[in-house]
A and B are shown apart, each in its own frame.
Chain A
Amino acid sequence: MKTKGSIKKRRLRYNHMTPKLAAELCKISGEKYVIYDDKEKLEPYSHDEVAETQYAHMPEALVRPGSTTEVSSIIKWANRRKVPVTPRGAGSGLSGGAVPIHGGVVMHMDRMNKVVEYDRINMTITVEPGMVTNDINDLIKGDGLFYAGYPMSLETCYIGGNVAENAGGGKAVKYGVTARYVIGLEIVTPTGDIITLGGKLVKDVTGYNVIQLMVGSEGTLGVFTKITLRLMPLPKANVDLLCLFKTPDEAIAVVPKIMTAGGIIPTAIEFMDKTSVQTTCQYLNESIPYQQAGAMLLITVDGPNAAQVEQEYEAIGELCMKNGAIEVYVADNFTTSQRIWNVRKNIAEAFKVISPHQSLEDIVVPIASIPEMVRELQVLSKKYGVSIPCYGHAGDGNLHATPVMNPAWTLKRWNDTLPNILIDLYTITSRLGGTISGEHGIGHKRKKYMPLVVSKEYLGMLRSIKKALDPNSILNPGKIFNTLA
């Protein structure tokens, strides 16, 4: 009979890279595309966009494959040699997903950056994982099409990374996240097999929905070598509204009304609390009368023509005014739009002036719980003596609450305190029916907090899936949960 302690945790046993193993890797991909024994060149691959250095880890080697068969050969070699492989996109992740925490080889997908097939009639595009997502939209906009899963922030991220993290972003209210648009994948499994999933089909129920298992798997279940995306008609007009409210409650109360009473699904509904608004407006020298604002909503509507968009933004604006907005500003051209989005996009930068040490969180709660979450954050902020600005996607409840180190503290005090702040934050999130990551992923930054929000059984299921597909724990081990050998 099994008892609690009978599953012995064994250390993952991997082989370190040696000159001999590096030579074998060079044989597969060519010397030009392998970096080994060069700290300076390997360093950029030791971290992603997570600011805290404790989440970084040096790779032992880097390989840049140029084809699917090469990826397969590398993975098969890694299984034979017991060397972990961590796939990497542009490195713009926010959970440490591409950090090789067990060393081994980082597989950078930058060379696989081509369009495989652009099918205007079926409105699909098949690309390699190293394609910059922004470039996809640049390529197709002339045809009146766009890829709607594009996250809002970075113009550098790769589509492969987006799929691995199931990236979301500002437009999720109306267009959903990456997963909605991935209809086909070619993957290399953790044991090196090449498998094609789905294709250009809108409907497909042949077997388990493995595509959706792969999307958001954070590089732990397969390496994507081809990605087929569904495209949408490009909206021809869009308008942004910046709405100032006295309190977060008033601001959030409007959000469901826009969709129910107004009958409109905006493209984006961004929320910024008082701390974010005031710090950022000060930082930007912004002249809008933010001093009275306890919260702001940034609402975007888009549509096939200017008349429809005008009708929608007026309806939303009126709703906001009726529900206590101090003022509603309208941006229907590029310059004005850029100015109001600047407030939202500069929040992180503005707080970096106060302290570069911050923990960008990614909690998600049911929309109606946002005001309570904001209140709880104020309590937490007082309790720990740190500022916790809260901003994010009000339309889907995804909030980037960001504890910022008190500039009077030592780094040690911050590092000692942060885990406690996060435990409190995640416990509150869980109590409000939420979870710890909406779009950035678990990676290894949040894995130890997983038990706070998910059941043991669920974690067990994830582990079983991983073990079934990756018996040697070769692919991105130690992410989402601790991997057992």
Chain B
Amino acid sequence: MRIVVPIKQVPETSAVKMDEATGTMIRDGVEAIINPLDLYAIEIAIQLREIHGGEVVAISMGPPKASIALREAIAMGCDSAILISDKAFAGSDTWATSNVLAAAIRRITIENGPIDLIVCGERATDGDTGQVGPGIASFLDLPVASYVCKINEITNGLCCVHRMVEDGYEVLQIQLPTVMTVVKEVASPRLPTLRGKQKAKKVDLTIWDVKNLALEGSKLGINGSPTRVVKIFRPSVARNCKKFIALDDNAIQAAADRVVGYLQEKKLI
């Protein structure tokens, strides 16, 4: 079974600060990590390889330092990794990113043979869109199962999965190759081991740029992105406190009734 896991390097969540003036994220001096939700995709991919054999390839579109995230993926147990890096990719939205990642997956197919599964994390903790996984599927014209929380069995090129939906689970049977985005319930990520780290250090990362992927310049980066971040702002939180004061024990019931009345009036209960 050949699996590709697209991952993203994101700023460590608890350290994120916003530049109020420009509305952009301050990335200087903030530690970069693998998008925490991608760890679940890496884990389930490794588990599937352990059952079915084959290989897991981690790919990431990002600046050169995204190689740290890819090496961490190898330390966890991925077999190889490809960094997709070019200045032309800077500022890509989810559409442009999906296009680039799809092109990379096409090239992996051409070079090393067909891929059975593409597993993505549910969304990235910085952009928070959850669109890149389905975007890849659309560019590659593959079926997609989002919010996968359980992979039951894979036989005869068919895969049975549980999707987490608002009111329960949806059980789907999908034909491989397919794209999946997985939620936390799918598996518990393993930790990178010493041996894994040592292996990852020695691995030569493959790096692909625009030329390697034969991509059209007009569909890349900030200029090739159909969507634009126009404004980022911090929503103001307003808390209006209303006090109902009971002056003595006898007044408590009356005050409680007024609280209930108030909540009913506001349609809160």
Interfacial chain A residues near B15, Cβ < 8 Å: 334
Given contacts A333-B31, A334-B15, contact A327 B192 (CB under 8 A): no
A interface footprint on B191-229 (CB within 8 Å = 1, 0 otherwise): 111101110000000000000000000000000000000
B interface footprint on A331-358 (CB within 8 Å = 1, 0 otherwise): 1111110011000000000000000000
> In the complex, which residue of chain B has the Cβ closest to the Cβ of A317?
B194
Tell whether B75 is near chain A: CB-to-CB under 8 Å: yes
Question: What total of A-B pairs shows CB separation below 8 Å?
Answer: 49
> In the complex, which residue of chain B has the Cβ closest to the Cβ of A328?
B194
> In the complex, which residue of chain B has the Cβ closest to the Cβ of A286?
B188
Q: Is the CB of B190 within 8 A of A321?
A: no
Q: In chain B, residues 162-213, which have Cβ atoms closer than 8 Å to a Cβ of chain A?
A: 188-194, 196-198
Interfacial chain A residues near B88, Cβ < 8 Å: none
Given contacts A314-B198, A334-B33, A335-B33, contact A329 B192 (CB under 8 A): yes
Tell whether A109 is near chain B: CB-to-CB under 8 Å: no
Q: In chain B, residues 1-21, which have Cβ atoms closer than 8 Å to a Cβ of chain A?
A: 12, 14-15
B117 to chain A, nearest CB (A): 22
Complex CA–CA separation, A314 to B75 (angstroms): 14
Q: Is the CB of B198 within 8 A of A329?
A: no
Interfacial chain B residues near A26, Cβ < 8 Å: none
Q: Is the CB of A333 within 8 A of B72?
A: yes
The total of chain B residues at the interface (CB under 8 A) is 19
Q: Is the CB of B194 within 8 A of A314?
A: yes
Tell whether B36 is near chain A: CB-to-CB under 8 Å: yes
Q: Is the CB of B188 within 8 A of A287?
A: yes
A interface footprint on B140-158 (CB within 8 Å = 1, 0 otherwise): 0000000000000000000
Q: In chain A, residues 305-335, which have Cβ atoms closer than 8 Å to a Cβ of chain B?
A: 314, 317-318, 321, 327-335
Given contacts A287-B188, A335-B36, contact A329 B193 (CB under 8 A): yes
Tell whether A53 is near chain B: CB-to-CB under 8 Å: no
Tell whether A241 is near chain B: CB-to-CB under 8 Å: yes
Q: In chain B, residues 24-49, which have Cβ atoms closer than 8 Å to a Cβ of chain A?
A: 31, 33-34, 36
Band of interface residues on A: 20 to 34
B149 to chain A, nearest CB (A): 15
Interfacial chain A residues near B36, Cβ < 8 Å: 335
Given contacts A314-B198, A334-B12, contact A329 B191 (CB under 8 A): yes
Tell whether A213 is near chain B: CB-to-CB under 8 Å: no
From A288, A330, A334, A335, B194 is in contact (CB under 8 Å) with A330
Q: In chain A, residues 145-198, which have Cβ atoms closer than 8 Å to a Cβ of chain B?
A: none
Complex CA–CA separation, A331 to B31 (angstroms): 13
From B34, B190, B197, A287 is in contact (CB under 8 Å) with B190
Interfacial chain A residues near B188, Cβ < 8 Å: 285-287
Given contacts A330-B75, A334-B12, contact A242 B194 (CB under 8 A): no
Complex CA–CA separation, A336 to B188 (angstroms): 13
From B14, B34, B194, B198, A241 is in contact (CB under 8 Å) with B194
Residues of B whose CB lies within 8 Å of any CB of A are 12, 14-15, 31, 33-34, 36, 72, 75, 188-194, 196-198
Residues of A whose CB lies within 8 Å of any CB of B are 241-242, 285-288, 314, 317-318, 321, 327-336, 339-340
